[in-house]
Structure 1
Amino acid sequence: MADLHARLERLAAERPHDTALVHGRRDGSGRAVTFARLVAGCREAARAFERAGVRRGHKAVTMTGDPYHLFTTVHGLLAVGAVPVLVDPGLPRAALRQCLDEVAPEVFVGQPLAHLGRTALGWARGHVRTAVVTGASVPGLRRRLPVPRARQGRTPSPPPAPDDLALIAFTSGSTGIPKGAEYHHSTLVGQAETLARLVGTDGTLFAGFLPVVLLGPLLGHTTVAPAVSHRAPARTPPARLVRPLLEHRTDVVVGSPAVLGLLAEHCARRRLTLDSVDRVISFGAPLRAGLADALHAVLRPDAQVLSAYGATECLPVSAVSTTEARSPGTGTCVGRPLDGVVARILDAGPDGVGEIAVTGGNVSPAYHARPEATAAAKTVTDQGVQHRTGDMGTIDEAGRIWFHGRRSHRVLGTDHVLTTEDVEAAADTVPGVRRSALVGVGEPGRQRAVLCVELTARAPGRGAGRGAVVAAVRELLDRRPEGRHVTAVLVHPGFPTDIRHNSKINRERLADWAARRPRRPR
């Protein structure tokens, strides 16, 4: 795939009146934007940035939940050689402050609420020299703060080189302070090419979370961007999702398990069948069998449901169909690496479980301002930069990756080590269990394993009914070698999760909660 900007320009020339983006509204309706209008919006944004004094190499924090303004802002910044910085504004204050201090951005672009947070909470104080507000009454951008006047007759900047820094995207922070993954221009092209192998290059794409919006139109898709509550996706009113999906006859649906769960539950309740959908792709966390079954129940019999594996530093890596036969074993199958991606297992133990490492054109080469983290996770090989994912896994004889959980989430006992997926994938099959989370309580090396369980909405809330669910989980664990090390099964009212997907479980907070529960006989 050629340079992304050239790709977008070509699409606008070839298909000017085709719909590139459907901007979802809160009532579930949408505003269609053609390829010609989208490219014009990017050009308008680029000119606005130049007038505001934004220059090549400037780092520009970008905070907007509006799909149109996100796309035109990011691609407008790329067009002038600036570096968009994507970070979740809902992160804890201290974490967000550290992220912005590490980046030291010269520019801040966002919707009015983001600027209110910037001024009230001191985001990037002492760094930002130029502020630009999105959400003007006409498409484009408008400047609010005084800035230096642009020089007349300035020589246009040369096009960026493939290895120039293009964008910084912060991780979700589900395993600590978020890290800023650096993307070169070649990385963005690599991610677009890899994503295209998963979602195709035409048709209608339902983008259930914002990062897909940045690439969907570039792949030639009509990209439907519903009005997801991006700071709390799991609380999005389902009608905002279902109405645009049905109206635009979506072929491919992409979303986190939390968003896909809303879709499946709403369609089942209303007895709706998503008969236009050929493929559903889950990103952000393992797709459990219960949700997969719920999705299949509202799709055509021949529709696919895929679970995709990847990370901010390397997205996507692999995918697997929920109908693919599974061989007996531990962990969760996440499929074969996509074309152009190579996966290896490093530092494997006697059982073959080690850390998953990935090489490919979609791999971020470094962390911004984190030399120690870069040295620990990145190695230059003859195939490119190899990234240690921090995930434990194996690769079977068929070349499929089996995910065993995060390395940092292992329970380190006195005479055993437990990985999360080995226990959770089994526990999640028990009727009445929505999801489970294995945590270690105590000091590493002497931790006791506790399984926290979140019940389904229909499961008994109290008394003997809830006790029966816990007893069923305990019985299943006792039949498994690794399950016998679990000292307690505790029912939790609702797991804390990450902001971005509402699907990655915050196990540190769960471990603190479990440590405060009274110990009961096993």
Structure 2
Amino acid sequence: MATAASTSTKNVGSLLAQVAQERGDAVAIATPARRGKDGRRVYQTITFAELEADSTRLAAGLAELGVTPGTRLALLVKPSIDFVSLVFALFKVGAVSVLIDPGMGRKNLLRCLDQVEPEGFVAISIVQAVRVLMGRRYAQAKKNVTVGRRWFWGGATIDDLRKADASGFQTFAAADDDPAAIIFTTGSTGPPKGVLFRHEGFYEQVQQIRDRYEIAPGEVDLPGFPLFGLFNSAMGVTSVIPEMDASRPASVNPLNIIEPIHDWQISQSFASPAVWNKVSLYCEQHQIQLPTLKRVLSAGAPVPPHVLRRMKSVIHPEGDIHTPYGATEALPIASIAASEVLGGTELESQQGAGTCVGRRFSGIQWRVIRISDAPIETLDQCEEVAAGEIGELIVSGPVVTRRYFTSEEATRLAKITDGERIWHRMGDVGYLDAEDRFWFCGRKAHRVQTPDGDMYTIPCEAIANNHDAIYRSALVGVGEPGEQFPVMIVEPWPDRYPQTKEAIDALLAEVRERCAAHPLTETIYDFLLHPSFPVDIRHNAKIFREKLAVWAEERLDLPHQD
């Protein structure tokens, strides 16, 4: 049985207990169900008091199953009341939740599971069926719970767990460094890596997000990202979980976002830029307003200014869209509001300044150091660059994870020790301005390393993107690092796509002329047109420049000589 939680514990489960005492009768989570005779959506709900009691029962049931602090359990459950309750239950019993985005594909998902070797699966029926049919591959997974109907395998169901006697159960008194979860990165610049989260990290994420955005108990949120439902419940905020595939937000039906916003008078929503692109377009086309929505959060991929502009026009007049910046290994790091982007930084970005991600959160320290592809063991080995000079960003703070669970080599490459403190190398390049805002200039792995120095993707691509026919562009390097030559690949807007070879040549000539006139891009001689960039499944926004570099090399002659 788990030990008692002290008042100083950083276990997020303890925050739910506090909320349940203060707002027990308020709705914690609502999920869309059937429609009534009047055509209106009916919602299944659970109060904070019920969520606290249910998660405690589930935790007690897990303890009876033999789950102890540190037990690794893969959680593969769809966004729902059960999902949120199970996450809190796993926190309370001290288990280490293994969270993998199914949107990364079956092969990557299985690779992640193989690396982490879970001791059990808390999963929907189809996942349990696959686990059993794979035979000895997951033979070590003995503590399994089926969420839904149990078919041809044994083990407990979630309903069995709910029969447990929770009267003597006490929440695990987590210390700061106790492991809480293993969450896998999307692998946009390499294979997915399992990031080890500590209890302190989750606890501090809740505090930092709440304080920065002034989120108050009693607000109503629409979480387009499942874990935000967990944060909401810990903050006393009602979560209305939308009907959507969270692993493929670009496929969302915008009405499934708009309808609950109106039904619940929702004041806040967190979702991918792909969601807000579709929702804002639909609202614009059908003259729909979302006047109760005062705070929109969007992360995971760049939010284009045209999306910010459209969303600003449909939400509350005094509302704003905030784009928090960070990574799986370190989140949140910084944030900027649409009003600041559209009021000034957008114009600088168009001129090649990079993308301003805003000011750091109060718990974060950051530095920009000289770019290196080698491991850096200690902070005193770093050379900090001057304000305005492009380097790589490193960050430190309580939300910064200390290591990867699945790769010591990845830990060596990404972490820098500073006494008891750990700094994380974000893998991003950019610079700090006079106001201590970070300007993102691209991924370190995507920089083009020419004989005359490095070229950075975001500033250079902005020059090509200024052509009104270009939807997006990608700067890639062909050749060996240090001897690369730059290639600019452009993708036109669908309705501006040239239909003849002459039209293609004319468009590329115009982009070439525009780039030749700017000092950032004047050394680019090769321009290619691509019909549709390879991008990530989840956000439909992160460009796979590595694939485009191979594609470009196959289509080009030897590099140009001056």
TM-score by length of 1: 0.89
Q: Which moved further from structure 2: 22-31 or 380-389?
A: 22-31
What whole-Å deviation, never above 9, does each CA across 1:155-209 have from its counterpart, x for those lacking one?
Answer: 9685222211111111111111111111111111111111213443321222122
Change (3 A) 1:314 1:92: same
- Which range moves more in the overlay, 32-41 or 18-27? 18-27
Q: Using a 3 Å threshold, how does the CA distance of structure 1 residues 83 and 238 change in structure 2: closer, same or farther? A: same
Question: In the TM superposition, what whole-angstrom CA distance separates every residue of 1:14-73 from its partner, at most 9, and x where no partner exists?
Answer: 212212122246987643322122223312321332233322211011112223222112
Q: Shift in Å at residue 405 of structure 1?
A: 0.8
1:160 pairs, out of 162, 174, 184, with 174
Quote the residue 1:343 is aligned against: 366
Q: Which has the larger radius of gyration?
A: 2
Query: 194-203 or 166-175, which moves further after superposition?
Result: 194-203
Q: 1:445 maps to which residue?
A: 482
**What secondary structure does 1:352 align onto?**
coil
**Maintained 8 Å contact 2:123/2:145:** yes
Q: 1:144 to 1:246 in 2, by over 3 A?
A: closer
Identity over aligned pairs, percent = 33
Per-residue deviation, 1:349: 6.2
Q: Please tell me the residue identity of whatever aligns with 1:17.
A: D
Alignment of 1:55-66 (within 5 A): 55-66=68-79
Note closer, same or farther for the CA distance 1:399–1:109 as it changes in structure 2 (3 Å cut): same
CA deviation map 1:440-460 (0-9, x unaligned): 233323333233333334434
User: Using the alignment, how far apart are the partners of 1:472 and 1:209 within structure 2?
Assistant: 41
Deviations 1:415-445 (A, max 9, x none): 2321111122343343233333222233323
Local SS of the residue matching 1:75: helix
Shift of 1:410: 0.9
CA contact 1:283–1:308 (8 Å) conserved in 2: yes
SS of residue in 2 equivalent to 1:486: coil
Q: CA deviation at 1:84?
A: 0.2
Deviation (angstroms), 1:490:
3.3
SS at the partner of 2:291?
Answer: coil
Higher mean displacement: 202-211 or 55-64: 202-211
**Partner residue in 1 for 2:532:** 494
Q: State the 1:488 CA deviation.
A: 3.5
Deviation at residue 363 of structure 1 after TM alignment? 0.8
1:381 is displaced (CA, Å) by 2.8
Secondary structure at the counterpart of residue 405 of structure 1 = strand
In 1, Cα distance between equivalents of 2:240 and 2:506: 43
Structure-1 separation of matches of 2:74 and 2:187? 17
The residue that corresponds to 2:374 in the other structure is: none
The 5-angstrom pairing of residues 108-187 of structure 1 reads 108-120=121-133, 125-135=138-148, 143=156, 159-187=173-201
Q: How does 1:421-436 map to 2 (within 5 A)?
A: 421-436=458-473
Q: Within the alignment, does 1:316 sit opposite 2:332 as a pair?
A: yes
8 A contact 2:59–2:92 mirrored in 1? yes
Which region of structure 1 is more displaced relative to structure 2, 305-314 or 33-42? 33-42
Q: Is the 8 A contact 2:60 2:169 kept in 1?
A: no
Q: Deviations over 1:89-146 (max 9, x none)?
A: 3434553333222211101111123234434567952331222111369xxxx8269x
Aligned partners of 2:471 and 2:492 also within 8 Å: yes
Please state if 1:405 is matched with 2:442.
Answer: yes
- 1:341, CA displacement in angstroms? 1.1
Encode CA deviations 1:216-274: one digit per residue, 9 max, x unaligned: 22112112221221232111222212211222222222222111111111111111112
Deviation per residue, 1:324-347 (Å, 9 max, x gap): 233576211000101111111111
Name the amino acid aligned to 2:365: V
**1:206/1:454 Cα in 2 relative to 1: closer, same or farther (>3 Å)?**
farther
Give the drift of 1:476. 2.9
Mind listing any 5+ residue stretches in structure 2 that lack a counterpart?
A: 1-7, 36-40, 371-383
State whether structure 2 residue 508 is matched by structure 1 residue 474.
Answer: no
The equivalent position to 1:10 in structure 2, one of 12, 18, 21, is 18
- Alpha carbons of structure 1 residues 442 and 84: separation in structure 2 relative to 1, 3 Å: same
Q: Counterpart in 2 of 1:363? A: 400
- 1 CA distance for matches of 2:465 and 2:72? 43
Residues 1:47 and 2:60 aligned together: yes
Q: Which residue of 1 aligns with 2:522?
A: 484
2:377 counterpart residue number: none
1:467/1:23 CA distance change after superposition, 3 Å: farther
Contact 1:226–1:244 (Cα < 8 Å) also in 2: yes
- Taking the aligned partners of 1:36 and 1:465, their CA distance within structure 2 comes to 64
- 1:379 alignment partner in structure 2: 416
Q: Equivalent residue for 1:21?
A: 29
Q: Distance in 2 between matches of 1:276 and 1:469?
A: 44
1:473-492 CA deviation, whole Å, 9 max, x = no partner? 33332222222233434333
How many aligned positions are there?
A: 515
Pair 1:462-2:499 in alignment: yes
**In 2, Cα distance between the equivalents of 1:436 and 1:41?**
50
Q: Describe the shift of the 1:144–1:207 C-alpha distance in structure 2 as closer, same or farther (beyond 3 A).
A: closer
After superposition, residues 91-102 of structure 1 pair within 5 angstroms as 91-102=104-115
What residue identity is the alignment partner of 1:502?
N
**Alpha-carbon spacing, 1:360–1:104, altered in 2? closer, same or farther (3 Å):** same
Q: 1:105 touches 1:124 (CA, 8 Å); kept in 2?
A: no
The residue number in structure 2 matching 1:272 is 288
What SS does structure 2 have at the residue aligned with 1:38? helix
The answer to whether the aligner puts 1:515 opposite 2:553 as a matched pair is yes
Higher alpha-carbon deviation: 285-294 or 17-26: 17-26
Q: Secondary structure at the match of 2:471?
A: strand
- Which shows bigger deviation, 458-467 or 323-332? 458-467
Change beyond 3 A, Cα 1:118–1:510: farther
Matching residue of 1:304: 320
User: Counterparts of 1:265 and 1:513 in 2: how far apart (Å)?
Assistant: 32
SS at match of 2:211: helix
Cα pair distance change 1:164/1:272, threshold 3 Å: same
Matched, 1:392 2:435: no
Give, as a single letter, the amino acid of the residue that structure 1 aligns with 2:93.
V
1-structure distance, mates of 2:34, 2:451: 52
Closer, same or farther: CA 29–229 of 1 in aligned 2, 3 Å: farther
1:24 and 1:30 in contact (8 A); partners too: yes
| Distance of 1:422 and 1:261 partners within structure 2 | 23
Pairing partner for 1:247 from 243, 263, 274? 263
8 Å Cα contact 2:96-2:182 kept in structure 1: yes
